[in-house]
Amino acid sequence: MSINRVVISGNLTRDPELRRTQSGMSVMSLGMAVNDRRKNNQTGEWEDYTNFVDCTLFGNRADSLAGILQKGMKVAIEGKLRYSQWEQNGQKRSKLEVVVDEIDLMTQRNAQSGSQGQYQTRPNNYTNQQQNGAYRAPQQPGYVNQQRAPVIDAASSVYDDDIPF
């Protein structure tokens, strides 16, 4: 058995390119810059290295996101690796790319500025407001939470003796 899953987050390096196959299926190509940190053995300091990753998105989702995604936006993607080989001008070429299954926009257009290219960070899904020692998700308009989160009493604690294994 093998597992082929990729999860990365980074910034788009170029505006997405949308095209169609002969059968009419939408194909969007995007490039991502993903940072990595390594310790330099000579200086002992951590340094950032950028990896450039080609990504491809198919179908209706490609059509929908073509007008939204722009160079510089921060996104997170989940997908699978695909290796391709072809011959171009007598030379063998190959590439490794990510075929996107899920995409999450981590920045959005700044509605107040009205100009392109300016983005703001999207707020987190969960707040860090504590209520009786427990974290809770923010309430959305029109949403009624049917279940209450268990309240954890900060005064009580769990010891190893209480665990049955």
Question: How many domains, the chain?
Answer: 1
Sign (positive or negative) of CA dihedral 102, 106, 111, 116: negative
Q: Is residue 162 part of a domain?
A: no
Range of the domain at 86: 6-156
For residue 161, is it within any domain? Answer: no
Domain CATH for 22? 2.40.50.140
User: Does residue 132 lie in a domain region?
Assistant: yes
pLDDT by residue (tens digit) across 67-96?
899 999 999 999 999 999 999 999 999 999
User: Is residue 58 in some structural domain?
Assistant: yes
**What would the mean pLDDT of 148-159 be, rounded to a whole number?**
49
Domain-embedded: residue 33: yes
Q: Is pTM, for the whole model, over 0.75? A: no
| Per-residue CA distances from 135 to 124, 131, 148 (Å) | 13, 7, 11
pLDDT at 56: 95
Q: Is the predicted pLDDT of residue 146 greater than 90, yes or no?
A: no
pLDDT digits over 108-144, tens only? 655 434 444 444 444 444 333 334 444 444 444 444 4
